[in-house]
Amino acid sequence: MTTAIETPANLEEFRLKVRDWFSSNATREDAEASGESSEVEEGETEDFLVVARKFQNTLYDAGLSGLSWPKEYGGQGLTMNHQQVFNEEASGYVLPSTPFMVTLGMCAPTILQYGTEEQRKRHIGPMLRGDEIWCQLFSEPGAGSDVAGLTTKAVQDGDEWVINGQKVWTSGAHYASFGLIVTRTNPDVPKHKGITMFIVDMKAPGVTVRPLRQMSGASGFNEVFFDNVRVPATALVGVVDQGWTAAIGTLMNERVSIGAGGGGLGRGTGTVQFDRLAELATSTGAITDPVTRNELATIWVKERTLAILGDRMRASLKSGNAPGPEGSIAKLAGSELGSRVADMAMDLLAESGQAWNNDDEESLRWATNVLASPGGAIAGGTPEIMRNILGERSLGLPKEPQLDRDMPFKEIRTN
Amino acid sequence: MSVMTEEREALKAAVADYLDATFPIDKVHRIANGKEDVPAGEWTKAAQGLGLAGLVIPEEFGGQGASLGELGAVLQEFGRTLAPLPMLSSAALGTVPFLVCDNANVSKPYLEALAAGTATAALALSEAANQWPATINNTTATPSGDTWSITGSKSFVLDNGGADFYIVSASTPQGPGIFVVDAADVQRTDLNAMDLTRKQSAISLNNAKATPLAINAQEQLTKIQNLAATLVASEQIGGADAILKMMVEYAKMRVQFGRIIGSFQAIKHMCANTLVEVEQARGAAEDAADRAAEGEDITLSASLAKIACSEVFSDATLTNIRVHGGIGYTWEHPAHLYFRRARSTNALFGTPAQHREALLVGLGY
């Protein structure tokens, strides 16, 4: 998909163009108040969406969206090195592009690879421009870590398919215009062999989106109900009953996109968490307590090693290596650090971590933090699933024997 | 994940080939058991062939002039194989003080002999257990005419069974000093070392003739100790990496309950957790060595590396024994050689707890 001629000179020219664009269209990170993890609230408010859309529109109009994507679908037809230059120049700037992560990081690559020509022409341009936001409808109440155990059904009816079932943990479903859904189309074959992927219009009759409130009180994702939702045959992505291949493609893209940009590695190299805890320990007087000191130093060590891992990962990608297991490593280490930080803060705050006055923002912030930390470990794959991935893909250990692998789906024990 | 330069990768690979051929683990095991000796002249051979002895010694003294980053990479290979050559004790710990003190007139003959592999050095700073950084308690240097003489004692000296000269810290009227003392002028006693692959000694000095490398040298002593912690960490991460491979290899081969045991999540997750810790500690070790090579102040980085590598090495060697089950704690299996090395290096040049406290102080708390 890369057609452009790339020379050191035009790469350099491109770098200057990107640098210029960022300096006049984006806010520097250090200009923002630092330290606040906005993970909980990001992407929820209408305002945030307006800002994000406008940013993406401007980016597209400047010819800086979809850099390595084919021209015929609205991309720029440039090389991965152009993308790399872009990423380098983007570092240090606040990019309000969270609502597009699923759209561009997961859905668009799937449509490009498995979609029809008509689907590519229809959707990829608007996705790159920020006009279409997509969501990914994979997980179900009965199919979490084992997504292939999904039971949402799609039945063919003439030129249409009728979808019934429920999806869950769907980020952005409340503002997405389209969704990529995987459904059960054949229960008489093993579970991986009877799955089909469709594009579904989120405004279609029968689609109900209900925000899910997390234990922290925030609402980042949704449950989505499908009640006799009709999609045209042209909404089929890939081949009937072979949707698992496409779904794996989508999930791999998620891993690459998380690995390359997020997963606790995207932020700066400072020790923000340590600094906040050390400040708190100083204010409570616990800073002289040997147990507190030991734990504080441990948190500094873990925060620094994670930052170094991030630097090394970027350096490795930059020198042309394929993404390795660092995404899963970073996710595991990052969520463990998050819980440890929250726990330590609660220990330091003691009673005032569980009840506080209206003006006590410090306690409120830490309490919110500790309530968000279990979710941080589970979203995007539980620690146990991450360890399976590392054990099987990075270390080459064999899978658990699978009881359901060759059995017709309808005979498998489900929830 | 590799972020090393091609040149460094090539050096590391050449050292790996040499060590795998010369010191396979069963041979190391026999040497540790006293059933075999290190081949005579092997260190000189390694010095001349691969330039290992003088790796970081400037070319003008017959060395390779490589950076501390390269030294760290080579130490990883020595840690991986437990090869019983004085790479850490002499080519790293025994050499670095000369570079830090940067006193060419005095250092020249020593560095030339070290680079040629015809002599080895050892670093003797510690006098008592549980002191980091090492403090000079009762070792005193007195000037007498053109030379100095030292009286006192040092312990936990990594000297590979006996070095040709010792780098000794001692108090002087002008603050702490760093001296070189010939082996002939010290009384050396073998300690009973837990690590069977590396000998340690206690030395005592009784009016021993000493050549000063630096006087009023608190700054140099601090630098040397930070470098020592960093270099030990480099060796540790090589050992931890070898242990990760050992446990994974066994988990892929051993069958119980009709299954390869690595297919059990309990075992798989032990291996995955080790991978997570190894990858992070490797970053910390290489980052510290590279910062040292750039001449940065590595006080914090050295502690970070020593904590991360000590902990992962100890944890990994225990996990490895558990993955192996009964065979893992037999004398015949090499698992305990690494376990011993891990526990030994955990304590040398600052325990994790000591480094954690040093870190907080260094961060201003």
pLDDT tens digit string along A82-112? 887 887 788 778 788 888 888 988 899 999 9
Kindly report the number of other CB atoms within 10 A of residue A383's CB atom.
18
pLDDT tens digit string along A68-78? 889 999 999 98
Q: What is the distance, to the nearest Å, from the Cα of residue B256 to the centroid of all Cα atoms in its chain?
A: 38
- The answer to whether position B163 is within a domain reads yes
Buried b (16+ CB within 10 A) or exposed e, A163-200: bbbbbbbbbbbbbbbbbbbbbbbbeebbbbbbbbbbbb
CA-closest candidate to residue A106, choices A254, A235, A238, A244: A254
- On whether the CB atoms of residues B194 and B343 are closer than 8 A, the answer is yes
Rg (CA), chain B: 20
pLDDT tens digit string along B24-80? 999 999 999 999 999 999 999 999 899 999 999 999 999 999 999 999 999 999 999
State the CATH number of the domain containing residue B79.
1.10.540.10
- What residue in B sits closest to A384 (Cα-Cα)? B269
Instruction: Calculate mean pLDDT across residues B122-126.
Output: 98
Please give the pLDDT value at position A1: 41
Tell me which of B54, B85, B116 is where a domain ends: B116
N- to C-terminal Cα distance for chain A? 42
Kindly report the number of other CB atoms within 10 A of residue A3's CB atom.
11
DSSP string computed for B6-35: HHHHHHHHHHHHHHHHH--HHHHHHHHTTS
Tokens at A133, concatenated: 């936001």
Interface of B with A (CB under 8 A): 1-3, 248, 251-252, 259-260, 262-265, 267-269, 271-273, 275-276, 279-281, 283-284, 286-287, 304, 307-308, 353, 355-357, 359-360, 363, 365
Tell me which of B161, B184, B216 is where a domain ends: B216
- Assess whether B241 and B170 both reside in one domain: no
Which residues 6+ apart lie within 8 Å of A371 measured at CB?
A215, A216, A217
- What residue in B sits closest to A313 (Cα-Cα)? B1
- Assess whether B16 and B102 both reside in one domain: yes
Please give the pLDDT value at position A36: 39
Chain B residues within an 8 Å CB radius of A395 = 248, 268, 271-272, 275
Cross-chain residue pair B268–A392, CB shorter than 8 Å: yes
Please give the pLDDT value at position B4: 79
Chain A residues within an 8 Å CB radius of B240 = none
Indicate if the pLDDT at residue B286 is higher than 90.
Answer: yes
State the CATH number of the domain containing residue B210.
2.40.110.10
Please give the pLDDT value at position A260: 39
CB distance from A400 to chain B under 8 Å?
yes
DSSP string computed for B269-280: HHHHHHHHHHHH
Which domains, from first to last, does chain A contain?
Answer: 8-96 (no CATH), 135-247 (2.40.110.10), 262-381 (1.20.140)
**Which residues are registered as beta bridge partners of B101?**
none
CA-closest candidate to residue B271, choices A144, A252, A312, A398: A398
Cross-chain residue pair B360–A396, CB shorter than 8 Å: no
Cα B207 to Cα B149: distance, rounded to the nearest angstrom: 5
Selecting from B248, B268, B357 the residue whose C-beta is nearest the C-beta of A387 gives B268
- Give the DSSP H/E element, type plus range, for residue B140: strand B140-144
- The answer to whether position B1 is within a domain reads no
Cross-chain residue pair A305–B265, CB shorter than 8 Å: no
- Assess whether B32 and B98 both reside in one domain: yes
Please tell me whether the peptide bond between B133 and the residue prior to it is cis, using omega within 30 degrees of 0.
yes
pLDDT class of B315 with cuts at 50, 70, 90? very high
Q: What is the distance, to the nearest Å, from the Cα of residue A332 to the centroid of all Cα atoms in its chain?
A: 15
Q: Are strands A195-201 and A207-212 parallel, antiparallel or unpaired?
A: unpaired
CA-closest candidate to residue A200, choices A170, A245, A169, A244: A170
- Assess whether B264 and B143 both reside in one domain: no
Regions of chain A short of the pLDDT cut 70: 1-6, 29-46, 253-270, 317-324
State the CATH number of the domain containing residue B342.
1.20.140.10
- The answer to whether position B249 is within a domain reads yes
Q: Which domain holds residue B350?
A: 220-362
CB distance from A384 to chain B under 8 Å?
yes
Selecting from B267, B268, B284 the residue whose C-beta is nearest the C-beta of A308 gives B284
DSSP state of B41: T
Tally of domains in chain B:
3
- The answer to whether position B152 is within a domain reads yes
- Assess whether B24 and B38 both reside in one domain: yes
- Assess whether B150 and B80 both reside in one domain: no
Query: Which segments of chain B does DSSP mark as H helices, in order?
Result: 6-22, 25-32, 42-49, 68-81, 96-101, 104-116, 218-253, 265-293, 299-324, 335-347, 352-362
Cross-chain residue pair B268–A312, CB shorter than 8 Å: no
Task: Give backbone dihedrals phi and psi of B67, rounded to 5 degrees, phi first.
Answer: -90, 170
Cα B71 to Cα B160: distance, rounded to the nearest angstrom: 18
Selecting from A294, A300, A391 the residue whose C-beta is nearest the C-beta of B271 gives A391
Cross-chain residue pair A395–B279, CB shorter than 8 Å: no
- Assess whether B225 and B356 both reside in one domain: yes
Reported ipTM: the value is 0.94
Q: What is the distance, to the nearest Å, from the Cα of residue B296 to the centroid of all Cα atoms in its chain?
A: 21
- Assess whether B350 and B226 both reside in one domain: yes
Instruction: Calculate mean pLDDT across residues B317-344.
Output: 98
Please give the pLDDT value at position A4: 54
- The answer to whether position B199 is within a domain reads yes
pLDDT tens digit string along B197-256? 999 999 999 999 999 999 999 999 999 999 999 999 999 999 999 999 999 999 999 999
Rg (CA), chain A: 23
- Assess whether B225 and B336 both reside in one domain: yes
Cross-chain residue pair B360–A305, CB shorter than 8 Å: no
- What residue in A sits closest to B287 (Cα-Cα)? A308
- What residue in B sits closest to A386 (Cα-Cα)? B272
- Assess whether B357 and B276 both reside in one domain: yes
Please give the pLDDT value at position A136: 94
- Assess whether B224 and B342 both reside in one domain: yes
- Assess whether B92 and B174 both reside in one domain: no
Cα B105 to Cα A246: distance, rounded to the nearest angstrom: 70
Tell me which of B116, B145, B169 is where a domain ends: B116
Indicate if the pLDDT at residue B1 is higher than 80.
Answer: no
Distance from CA of B360 to the nearest CA of A (A): 6
CA dist list (Å): B167 to B90, B178, B222: 10, 7, 14
